[in-house]
Structure 1
């Protein structure tokens, strides 16, 4: 499967995917059903060092929308996200001296948490404006992502000042949805539909409001963490994540090192050298993706081992079986039997 190049770049911190999963579990949706067909595994989401691609997050959101049956899911998630989920960006914002400084932090470092959105703060008049622009078309998950982001940002602002913000103006870049009446419970103020981009407009005087949780030492420490993380996103800094995300977005038609290098517009020799600097190799990353996908197929589907081998790009099932045994010490069939026994509450299969 070929998807747009920007869909397979690291885009979303896995903390938000985990929160989405937990929200669905509270609604009675089994994790295995939610992740079914997404190509994601729970251990993968627990790895904070691996950002999800937009393609991966999109599949998870679509699955959640279908299983929850709630068009308001984006707003529900946005309202439930704790500050700790934003990592050093959230800590720096909460420790800022005033709202203006906190918003500067959010605008500068939001790319560390969700790079498919571009935030801008417009000031200089009686009304200030926080813009949320899409770096590319978010397609069928555009509305829940923008709704959730807006609710999340308002929640952070209210936490900073310790009170409701009052009447604001919200501009949204889409027509009024059938559920727009529910906006009144989440957005206190005026809603303008069909705008050029998502905007939250508020009195400029709010920028000078002191933050209740201001802490200069904590702010400086969190800001250093943000700067370090931002530097790591420089050229080559997240190359291993880029390669892993591109591989995870495919199924079966994994390119060789030369093919991946072509996709990244570099020579195979350069790719090998840069991955070595990251402490890994192309084959190691491919093995990681195949290993995670193999576990998921065996735990959550009834697909024959031959079909799983084919989906993982193995032309020879016996070769897949040998590789799988090297990974886990058991055959694929033995692994599946053990996983099924654990799911029933019995002892693992030896």
Structure 2
């Protein structure tokens, strides 16, 4: 049975975070009328727990907020003030779990109730200079474009705040990785976060010590936890675990042994016609070719930095006809040749072990 899907134009996004942004900026003296210019939204809608809207009005709202505050790092700055309680039912349920891993699994299952634009996954950090780590991997379910830095910096910082609240600890995340380029003025932000950030990575991830998984949660309450899980399941059934065509395609590509797949194969696997899938991806502001390139880049980065496989073998896995074609594409994505990227990754790994 195909999951219910939505596109960026459909009213699927709740007001938990936009409402917080509006409240925070109003308190700082910024008029709501200016922040909501050309969004088609009003203040009451951003305070309505039942209101949903599409992505474009919120994109305009966040761009307005960045422009009026003249703060390119607004996402991270606001997220430092974000109360984990604003996440709502998923956060309460996670905090009542028996141990940290149980709480994270609640978030993995129900994070979309509050933040349907993100895919939240708990993954083992199997490569890189650090050992004994777990990671929360975040993926956008459609392209964020101009607000990518705002969106992912907000999410990574806010989630770290939620993890600290779950454990009642001052430190949880040890580092983060993001696909965006390092913005100007980052050093002023970095010192406020409590964890290091690596830019231009293959994924958006928040990493923490694996041994925290078994740590009991101070707020553990089996009675309330059981009741809240039922409520989460009821709400989830009401929205049919919404996903997007972009998320569906990326999940299928990620699970493919070889990335030489054609759009016709992907469409058939997902239950679309080829034309129908192209149309759905176009409505999401992207294309199959763009997503295939994204999947290839992510896998290339992981294989080059985390394995010793020959570049020729990686070329075949990624679905390129020749190493030269792969090298041209990889340089377009990263500005480096595959060999230079691997050498750079080895240098980072060596420095991380010192």
Q: 1:142 to 1:220 in 2, by over 3 A?
A: same
- Listed as ranges, the matches of 1:147-296 within 5 Å are 147-165=153-171, 168-234=174-240
Instruction: Let me know the Cα RMSD of the aligned residues.
Output: 2.0
Q: Distance in 1 between matches of 2:68 and 2:8?
A: 23
Q: How far is the alpha carbon of 1:208 from its aligned partner?
A: 1.1
Conserved? CA contact 2:177–2:204, under 8 Å: yes
- Decide which moves more: 167-176 or 87-96: 167-176
Q: Check the 8 A contact 2:177/2:203 in 1, yes or no.
A: yes
Question: Comparing 60-69 with 156-165, which one deviates more in the overlay?
Answer: 156-165
Q: Secondary structure at the match of 1:9?
A: coil
CA drift of 1:166 comes to 5.7
Write out aligned runs for 1:88-103 (5 A).
88-103=89-104
Residue equivalent to 2:68: 67
The alpha-carbon distance between structure 1 residues 79 and 52, as it changes in their structure 2 partners (threshold 3 A), is: farther
TM-score using structure 1 length: 0.63
Superposition deviation, residue 55 in structure 1: 1.4
| 1:145 aligns to 2:151 (yes or no) | yes
Identify the residue that residue 337 of structure 1 maps to in structure 2. Answer: none
Given that residues 8 and 142 in structure 2 are in contact (C-alpha distance below 8 angstroms), is that contact kept between their aligned partners in structure 1?
A: no
Give the distance between the partners of 2:178 and 2:51, measured in 1 at CA. Answer: 31
Residue in 2 aligned with 1:80? 81
- Name structure 1 gaps, 5 residues minimum: 237-264, 266-350
Aligned to 1:20: 21
Indicate if the aligned counterparts of 1:130 and 1:201 stay in contact, CA closer than 8 A: yes
Contact 2:73 2:189 in 1 (8 A): no
State which of 132, 135, 141 in structure 2 corresponds to 1:135: 141
The structure-2 alpha-carbon separation of the partners of 1:114 and 1:11, relative to structure 1 and needing over 3 Å to count, comes to farther
SS in structure 2 of the partner of residue 145 of structure 1: helix
In the aligned structure 1, how far is the partner of 2:20 from the partner of 2:14? 11
Task: Measure, in 1, the Cα distance between the counterparts of 2:27 and 2:210.
Answer: 39
Residue by residue over 1:277-297, the C-alpha shift from the partner in whole angstroms, topping out at 9 and shown as x without a partner, is xxxxxxxxxxxxxxxxxxxxx
Please identify the structure whose Cα radius of gyration is greater: 1
Query: Cα 1:92–1:137, aligned 2, differ >3 Å: closer, same or farther?
Result: same
Matched, 1:39 2:75: no
Distance 1:11 1:149, change over 3 A: farther
Equivalences for residues 2-17 of structure 1 within 5 A? 6-17=7-18
Gaps of 5+ in 2: 1-5, 127-131, 243-275, 277-354
Cα distance, 1:167 vs structure 2? 6.4
TM-score by length of 2: 0.62
